[in-house]
Each structure stands twice: as C-alpha cells, then as structure tokens.
Amino acid sequence: MPTPHMQHELLFGNVKLFAGTASPELSQEIADYLDLDLCGRDIIEFPNENLFVQLQSSVRGQDCYVIQTTSSPVHRNLMELLILIQTLKLDSAGRITAVVPYLCYGRSDKKDKPRVPITARLVADMIVAAGADRYMTFDLHAGQIQGFFSIPGDVLRGFHILKNYLLELAPSLHNPVVVTADLGFAKKGRVYADLLQTGLAFIEKKRTSDITNPQAMTVIGEIKDKDVLLVDDEINTGGSMVHAVNILKEHGARDIYMIFVHPILSNDAAERLAALPVKQFITTNTVPIPPEKRAFLGDRLVVLSIGKLLGEVIQRANEGTSVGEMFNE
C-alpha cells in the first residue's frame, strides 16, 4: 500500500496503469503498491510480425502510465511501447507517461566516429512522437540522454534501491573498497564510496575494435588485501566484468561483490559471470532475468526490486508532488 498522502486535486484524472509484455512481474508489483488493477489491453502479433493493440476500456482524460522495459527482445518491446502510447493518445488520454526502467540504445549517444547514428536520440524522438507527455527511467547510460527528450522525465537511480542492502553488507566486509568497472562510472562510484565510507578505485578499460570484447587495462587505486564492491551501470555480455575481476584478483583483491543496476545479461553472460570468483551479484529488476539465467547464478544472485519506488513516484507524479523530496533532494 502506498504511504498516506495529503489529498490533492488531480490534474490529469486517475492513474491508469498499462503493462507491455516485457516485465509482467514488475508491472504487477507496481499495481499492487498502488492498490490498482492493471488495465486490460490486447496485444496481438500477426503472422507478419506486425503488432496490434486494443484497450479494453476508455482512458479519456485519465493519467496513463505505460510500463515497458526495452530489454530483449529489444525491437519488439520498443514497438509495443510506442504502439501502446499511440493507442492511449488516440483514445484521448489526459496525460501519458512512458515508464521504461531500462532504456535501450543508451550506448549510442554520440557520433564518436564518422558515419554512425545517435540511436538514443532516435529512440527518445520516437517515444515523444508516439505521444508521451513524460517519461520515467533508471540510470541512463549517459546522463545527457535526458537532453534528447523534449518532454520532462524522472531519471531515477538504482543507487536508491541498492544502498540499504549495501549498508547492511558493508560491516561484514574486510577493509572494503568501491571499484568502478569503468572510468565512465567514476562519479557515481564516488556516491557509493561516500555512502559506505570507503576508498574508491577504478578500472581503466579500453575497448578494442571488437566492441563486444572490452579489455581491462589496469587498476587505479589501492585494492590489495581489500574486499571489493565492483560497481557499474549495466552488464551486457559480461566481458567488462570478466576482465575486471581477473585484473582485481591479479592485484591482490580479496572477496569481490558485483553491483550493477541493469542486468541485461545478453547471450551467455550469466554463465560467464557464474564462473567468476565473485561472492554476490547484486542488481535490480529493471530488466527481468529469465529463470535459466538465474539458475547459473544461484543463491549468489540478489535482485532488489524497483517496484515500490516506481509505484511511489507514479503516485507523486499523479498528485503533482515532489519526487526529489523522497531522496532528500
């Protein structure tokens, strides 16, 4: 049940929650938190792979939220999101919010070589063009992707989900240090180190021309004889983490705990991670992890849910009250 709130006059009607097919458990958890039912909708795929969506009741004037993460199958999930938004728009929804816990194409955020696209911008444009008035997401791969959206959004941080678990874990660790798996995560790594009052070290990583095979180069900072909290925003193929763990061990790290927001775990990533000398894999459910991948990681896998936080943010968005004050901001 949501925390009690003052009665506010609703600007955009009642909350109507719609789920795509990408994360049914998370969608139900959000609905349970808000004490609402998910709204009925039909989503059909025709033999030619075209999708068809129909709402089972009117949303005229209502405050609609479409919950759909854009992990695998990425293009199917993205199209479902876009078509659901357009369907709500054409049924005269009062306001439409795209709730996309993991936003795909975040790594295509700049023209860093000749003749390449900026696909994160294209995705943002498509969400807006479909009819979204607002968006909610977690940990964009690069913060400036916010600027690709011409609509307001709440970019939430997995840190707020992970921190309580880490605060409980830290006292049992020997001489802990936070290590970021890549220099791009250094600023966020500082937030973890400040929370846990530990030192901070970094892996310097270089990607070769084979973008799926990053090479960890070196460790910057003190990690010898320390338990390591290895943090990153996402694990895709697991390549970065395999190199990171190897180099940490070569430099004398003790126990390693891997902490990441988006468990994309493409291809055989779960299997690769399972073979590593890592005590725990601590993540969230911005991306659902299929049972066969969970099985590889067994009880070393800790998945902390974003459901209640998203439910609360949706409630506040509906009432027009501050989200920042949930985090003392």
Query: Does the protein bind ligand R5P through residue 276 (CB under 6 A)?
Result: no
User: Hunting for tokens 């068809």 — which residue is that?
Assistant: 52
Query: Does the protein bind ligand R5P through residue 235 (CB under 6 A)?
Result: yes
Query: Does the protein bind ligand R5P through residue 109 (CB under 6 A)?
Result: no
Alpha carbons 82 and 98: distance in angstroms, whole number: 9
Whether residue 263 is preceded by a cis peptide bond, meaning omega within 30 degrees of 0, is no
DSSP 4: P
Within 10 Å of residue 135's Cβ, how many Cβ atoms? 23
Query: Does the protein bind ligand R5P through residue 184 (CB under 6 A)?
Result: yes
Residue among 29 and 109 whose Cβ is closer to ligand R5P: 109
Which of 110, 113, 163, 205 is labelled catalytic? Answer: 205
We find the least distance from the C-beta atom of residue 137 to ligand R5P, in angstroms, to be 16
Query: Does the protein bind ligand R5P through residue 185 (CB under 6 A)?
Result: yes
Alpha carbons 13 and 91: distance in angstroms, whole number: 14
Centroid of chain to Cα 166: 18
Query: Does the protein bind ligand R5P through residue 71 (CB under 6 A)?
Result: no
205 is catalytic: yes
Query: Does the protein bind ligand R5P through residue 233 (CB under 6 A)?
Result: yes
Which element (helix H / strand E) includes 202? strand 199-207
**Chosen residue from 214, 288, 307, 311 binding ligand R5P by CB under 6 A:** 214
Per DSSP, the residues of 251-281 read: TT---EEEEEEEE---TTHHHHHHTS--SEE
We find the least distance from the C-beta atom of residue 279 to ligand R5P, in angstroms, to be 19
In sequence order, what are the residues at sequence separation of 6 or more whose Cβ sits closer than 8 angstroms to the Cβ of residue 119?
Answer: 105, 108
Q: Which stretch binds ligand R5P (CB under 6 A): 41-49, 97-105, 228-236, 319-327?
A: 228-236
Residue among 80 and 232 whose Cβ is closer to ligand R5P: 232
Centroid of chain to Cα 215: 24
We find the least distance from the C-beta atom of residue 263 to ligand R5P, in angstroms, to be 10
Query: Does the protein bind ligand R5P through residue 108 (CB under 6 A)?
Result: no
Query: Does the protein bind ligand R5P through residue 72 (CB under 6 A)?
Result: no
Size of the site for ligand R5P (CB under 6 A): 14
We find the least distance from the C-beta atom of residue 240 to ligand R5P, in angstroms, to be 3
Query: Does the protein bind ligand R5P through residue 133 (CB under 6 A)?
Result: no
We find the least distance from the C-beta atom of residue 4 to ligand R5P, in angstroms, to be 39
Torsion angle of the four alpha carbons 120, 133, 289, 306, in this order, in degrees rounded to the nearest 10: 120
We find the least distance from the C-beta atom of residue 268 to ligand R5P, in angstroms, to be 12
Query: Does the protein bind ligand R5P through residue 70 (CB under 6 A)?
Result: no
Q: Which amino acid is at 134?
A: R
Residue among 176 and 214 whose Cβ is closer to ligand R5P: 214
Q: Encoding tokens for residue 252?
A: 């004398």
Specify whether the CB–CB gap between 65 and 31 falls below 8 A: no
Residue count (the chain): 329
Q: Which residues are catalytic?
A: 205
- Give the interface with ligand R5P as residue ranges (CB under 6 A): 181-182, 184-185, 214, 232-240
